[in-house]
Structure 1
Amino acid sequence: MKNEQILINAFSTSLGIEAAMVTQDLTYNTIPQWDSTAHMILIAELEDQFKVMLDTDDIIDMGSVAKAKEILAKYDIEFDA
């Protein structure tokens, strides 16, 4: 499975939303499902799926799908352009 799809699945599963809702523009607190509790579930899911351990600053900064890709890229996770 491509990293893009893994990312979409992680957001969809963690936030309990349809995969179609997971777009580059999806940001923290713009939907009721993405609150602080769901954010921590999302972080755990991303760490599990991509086998990384995110640092605290990255966890705090991860406020959108686009930002998640940017942060994961620092951990050598590649996404197709």
Structure 2
Amino acid sequence: MIDDERLRQVFRSALNLGDDFVVDALEYRGVDKWDSLAHMSLIAAMEDEFGIMIDTDDVIDMSSFTKARELLAKHLV
């Protein structure tokens, strides 16, 4: 089972969002802080936090919090 709260914290930290920021419906470019550079920081933070390697196709496809959850499920985290 995916630890949604851990993923939320990764999003908040990597995108420099407040602790109470609701990220569940967040999409790429949904906030100014989620640009291409922040996207790569988010990917790296997810890899570090969950001990996975994300391939290029998934990096490109991960366009929302929901997609990030699906990606973690694919890696059985």
Structure-1 residue corresponding to 2:47: 47
Runs (5+) with no aligned partner, structure 2: none
Instruction: Between 43-52 and 13-22, report the one with greater CA deviation.
Output: 13-22
Following superposition, the deviation at residue 48 of structure 1 comes to 0.3
SS at match of 1:21: coil
Distance 1:31 1:7, change over 3 A: same
Q: Normalising by structure 2, what TM-score? A: 0.91
Q: Normalising by structure 1, what TM-score? A: 0.87
Q: What is the count of residue pairs matched by the alignment?
A: 76
Contact 1:26 1:65 in 2 (8 A): yes
Cα shift readout 1:7-58 (whole Å, capped 9, x = no counterpart): 0111011000013324321000111000000000000000000000011111
Structure-2 residue corresponding to 1:25: 25
Contact 1:8 1:19 in 2 (8 A): no
Contact 1:11 1:22 in 2 (8 A): no
Following superposition, the deviation at residue 5 of structure 1 comes to 1.5
Identity of aligned residues (%): 43
Instruction: Find out whether 1:62 has 2:62 as its counterpart.
Output: yes
CA RMSD of aligned residues (A): 1.3
Runs (5+) with no aligned partner, structure 1: none
Distance 1:63 1:76, change over 3 A: same
Instruction: Between 65-74 and 11-20, report the one with greater CA deviation.
Output: 11-20
Following superposition, the deviation at residue 62 of structure 1 comes to 0.5
